[in-house]
A and B are shown apart, each in its own frame.
Chain A
């Protein structure tokens, strides 16, 4: 196994580890907002030495998955799995292209990563539902420990739950990256001409617009929406371009 393959395997392991840990933060432990794409994908971009691509991807993914919230007993699409898979596909795909000597088009790579990673949000949701069902066994175990007055046994139950959540998220992310990263590389080379322009335009115009629309839909105050529209107009018409593109 040569060095490039080893690097790829290590990178895959890194993304799986990130997916597992961030999956814990999403619901099972701490819930400190680390699993939000704007934090996790930006950080992964810096770690993979592709900060520009990381920022572009992080902003789009965050806006796109803003409505994915854990209200009560609801199980929304798993934005953490989708984001880490998209990030892994984009960063590994780009690194692979550079290794092959091919030029990576950032906008095209971002579009492909988002489109290929999005279905994993639904797969992640199914995974969460299965985990919730499997945790019934843990609840029975807790009942048994309580009936015996076994505090240590009771204390081990959340740890078992966290191990399951970590392993499941890590496995799904690893599967996603293994599937999507080669696809990003292949499609980046294969797609040329008008389809490449279309997908690049999709990444530059449509995805951010969809994300902003999703985020606007979360704002429950109509006047705040009006404020946002006025701010947009003001910034576009009055402020110089280099304020927004340093």
Chain B
């Protein structure tokens, strides 16, 4: 299959770049980022348009973004791996080597939202291959976008959505709903896969303006707020469910003491956590304190063996 044939087929499917994509990339404050004029060897374009199949390959490869994460350049290998099908279409020879080296530079961002930066990089590389812009534009956009998108992704996915989904699954299981974990998994991955796919599309269309396009398109902050409130609400249900199970188990204390005891434990542990005491320390410390207390109590008031109850 000839490259010209591929280019013709892809050309019919691709939207034309808008006039605004010729502008310099804008930072989060809206000020243009300075990029020097073109320098170095001109690329010899194999093909200046990317087909949908190639974009699907890029999306698939984005799932292995952190497979070779390292301390030096973080997710650089994953980024280059995801870009490789595009670079194979756009460049040959020295231009391809230069492009690969470009994408093996330092990169660190949220794995789900990195597809937006990949999409933007693809759009810019297409223009680089056509000789319309400087290759340094790619690095400039990556550096500009990786930090803000990392903050958005960490805040929404790791701090808000995942805790909410997990607590929701726990509440469902405690209330006897066996498919609750599957529902939580579906909810989480709905957002996960939507952000990956849509991020790639938005980045590909917006190019240098990826950050501005994303912040107006994704309203993740709003969903994050809802997830925090949802987590608070469902944690109360989880606590009640665990207390009820304790009250109906073989170590029930009776007279409605269990909820009070549970709430007291939660309050003490919460205060300790706020004072930065590690969870593992609280785990073993709690076990030790409880052992000493019950064994000491048994010394004065012999308890019945739990297996005899």
Contacts and interface: CB of A to CB of B under 8 A. Distances in A.
Interface of A: 27-34, 36, 38-39, 42-43, 51, 55, 58-59, 62-67, 69-73, 77, 103, 105, 107-108, 111, 114-115, 118-119, 121-122, 132-133, 135-136, 138-139, 142-143, 145-149, 151, 154-155, 157-162, 165, 192-202, 204-210, 212-221, 223-236, 239, 241, 243-246
A122 B283 CA distance: 14
B307 A192 contact: yes
Given A161-B68, A209-B262, A151 B88 contact: yes
Contacts of B184: 33, 38-39
Contacts of A202: 286-287, 290-291
B76 interface: yes
B152 interface: no
Contacts of A245: 241, 244-245, 248
Nearest to A206: B286
A105 B185 contact: no
B233 A64 contact: no
A197 B294 contact: yes
Given A39-B169, A146-B101, A215 B64 contact: no
B85 to A, nearest CB: 8
Q: Is the interface of B mostly helix, strand, loop or mixed?
A: helix
A246 B176 contact: yes
A143 B104 contact: yes
Given A158-B64, A224-B228, A244 B70 contact: no
Contacts of B154: 69, 71-72
Kindly name the residue among B73, B81, B185 whose own CB sees the greatest number of chain A CB atoms within 10 A. Answer: B81
A121 B270 contact: no
A113 to B, nearest CB: 12
A33 B70 contact: no
Interface stretch (B3-11, B136-144, B155-163): B155-163
A149 B71 contact: no
Interface string B253-264: 000001101110
Given A69-B162, A72-B154, A205-B262, 9 more contacts: A31-B112, A73-B108, A105-B306, A111-B287, A139-B104, A147-B97, A197-B294, A221-B225, A235-B241
Contacts of A147: 97, 101
Interface stretch (B40-48, B122-130, B274-282): B274-282
Nearest to A54: B173
A138 to B, nearest CB: 4
A35 to B, nearest CB: 11
A149 B93 contact: yes
B113 interface: no
Contact of A212 (B84, B165, B225, B242): B242
13 contacts: A28-B64, A33-B192, A38-B181, A39-B184, A55-B173, A59-B173, A111-B287, A136-B72, A197-B294, A213-B265, A218-B163, A227-B229, A244-B174
Contacts of A209: 262, 265-266, 269
Kindly name the residue among B69, B71, B178, B250 whose own CB sees the greatest number of chain A CB atoms within 10 A. Answer: B69
Given A146-B80, A231-B240, A207 B159 contact: no
A-B complex: 3 closest residue pairs judged by Cβ atoms: A231-B236, A224-B232, A235-B240
B49 to A, nearest CB: 19
Contact of B265 (A77, A205, A218): A205
Contact count band on B:
35 or more
Kindly name the residue among B63, B274, B294, B305 whose own CB sees the greatest number of chain A CB atoms within 10 A. Answer: B294
B163 A118 contact: no
Interface string B200-212: 0000000000000
B238 interface: yes
Contacts of A200: 250-251, 306
B63 A199 contact: no
Contact of B67 (A42, A103, A159): A159
Contacts of B66: 27-28, 31
A38 B68 CA distance: 27
A45 to B, nearest CB: 10
A36 B69 CA distance: 20
